[in-house]
A and B are shown apart, each in its own frame.
Chain A
């Protein structure tokens, strides 16, 4: 069983809809990372969380350390949000390499 599970695996939404992507993990972590992978393959960092909530534009990320769960929300979704969203966790104790462990991603398609 993967230590990081994401749901749903695939998601199709109409433009303007509110979207939620979930990430659950089964290990102790020191940080959680939400990444966005574009169709060409390039990956960009969206958020790094260790507690609470962060907001950037239409994106909101929350984490509940006790429940080992994080959510990524997209408000007023747009076709340009179509991408694969990946959750990654940094396990504790973090060794010198700071390796992340990744979920398999959620493929989001926003239809105009």
Chain B
């Protein structure tokens, strides 16, 4: 069966510090991968998606970036965090069908 992992589960970082969130998927190959952010009181917002290794599409301009160094690994990064980057970050995968499967999420607080 397929599973999706995210770490860390929670993170508190000061403004201006770097960020690296990791997502890995097990039990499937060549998945579509997604990064979402859920800010307090707001809906899920798609940040990045990837249909293959090294292929990243960005939905919104921001100080975040994403990379896919391996087939089942998706990384969300920032060189300098802003207060507005606080939120709940979710990784998801799909097999090209319509259904998406979400990871447990990372709660990021930028102080």
Contacts and interface: CB of A to CB of B under 8 A. Distances in A.
Interface in A1-30: 2, 4, 30
A109 B43 CA distance: 18
A48 interface: yes
Interface SS of chain A: strand
Contact of B105 (A30, A42, A99, A104): A42
25 contacts: A31-B98, A33-B98, A33-B100, A35-B102, A41-B104, A42-B104, A43-B102, A43-B105, A44-B102, A45-B100, A45-B101, A45-B102, A50-B98, A86-B43, A88-B44, A98-B32, A98-B94, A98-B97, A99-B59, A100-B100, A102-B43, A102-B45, A104-B41, A104-B43, A105-B43
B59 to A, nearest CB: 7
Given A31-B98, A33-B100, A97-B32, A43 B43 contact: no
Interface string B79-111: 000000000101000101111111011010000
Interface residues of B, number: 25
Nearest to A30: B98
Contacts of A102: 43-45
B99 A48 contact: yes
B57 A97 contact: yes
A4 B43 CA distance: 10
Interface of A: 2, 4, 30-31, 33, 35, 40-45, 48, 50, 86, 88, 90, 96-105
B76 interface: no
B96 A98 contact: yes
Contacts of A30: 98
A32 to B, nearest CB: 9
B44 A86 contact: yes
Contacts of A88: 44
B104 to A, nearest CB: 5
